Amino acid sequence: MARKKMGLTDRHKRILAFLESYQKKTGYPPSIREIGEHTGVSSTSVVNYYLDQLEEAEYIARESNISRGIRILKTFGETVATVAKDATSAVGEMLRIPVVGRIVAGSPIPVPSSDFSHFDPDTGINIARSMLPAREKTDELFALEVHGDSMVDAMVNDGDLVIMKKINSANNGDMVAVWLRDRDETTLKYFYLEGGRVRLQPANPTMKPIYIEDPATVEVQGKVILVIRQLDVN
């Protein structure tokens, strides 16, 4: 069975575009350090992390025992064209999901008592029904714009939109939007209930989890079911 291609984040695209331009200019692939320097990634391990994802999704191939052993399987331009073609052929029924506000994927920040109220009532995003789980009730869905980078390793970047399902409880491992009542703050994190306290876990190795001793102060407001990435193809 063919593996499903992942969506490209902005960082994936920058790396892939640099690989292509460097190869055309020099005739050979760049080093890990050169990739990091030209795409704004300071850690070589993080560069390798993104290259591994691109290889898994079959955009590149790597030779682990060869220096500069990166081979492009699909160029940046071809990737954009393929995504556009696939999106056109799979549009089907279109739905409009209301964008009701911003959510912080980082340290929680205070919000007004009205909570998700940043956008006006007419703001929304159109998506294909086929992008959603088959049995999902569309009247229970809403969208939030992500601010921050604590969920970057879950492929949720600053400026992305997350499609949420309205829920008031969560299972361990769910990515949820929560309101911390005692702090009057919101955040987007992985949810875990452990030993009578809540752990809100970021997906960023540079950030620490948030521990809430009183679970009653954590109000789950929605679960992420889809990420709409904001891609700059220019």
Residue-wise pLDDT for 103-142, tens only, equals 888 767 665 443 454 555 557 788 777 777 777 777 788 8
The DSSP output letter for 153 is: G
Across the range 143-167, mean pLDDT stands at: 88
- pLDDT above 80 for 75: no
Q: Enter the pTM of the model.
A: 0.57
CB 225 within 8 A of CB 164: yes
Domain 10-88: give its CATH code.
1.10.10.10
Q: Which of 21, 25, 130, 150 is catalytic?
A: 150
Q: What percent of the chain has pLDDT over 90?
A: 18
Per-residue pLDDT, 46: 81
Residue spans per domain, the chain: 10-88, 94-228
Per-residue pLDDT, 47: 84
Give pairs for 129-137: CB < 8 Å, separation 24+: 129/92, 129/93, 129/94, 129/95, 130/90, 130/91, 130/92, 130/93, 131/90, 131/226, 132/95, 132/163, 132/225, 132/226, 133/225, 136/165, 136/225
Across the range 163-168, mean pLDDT stands at: 90
Per-residue pLDDT, 87: 41
Domain 94-228: give its CATH code.
2.10.109.10
150 a catalytic residue: yes
If pLDDT is split at 50, 70 and 90, which confidence band does 192 have?
A: very high
Q: Which of 13, 165, 189, 223 is catalytic?
A: 189
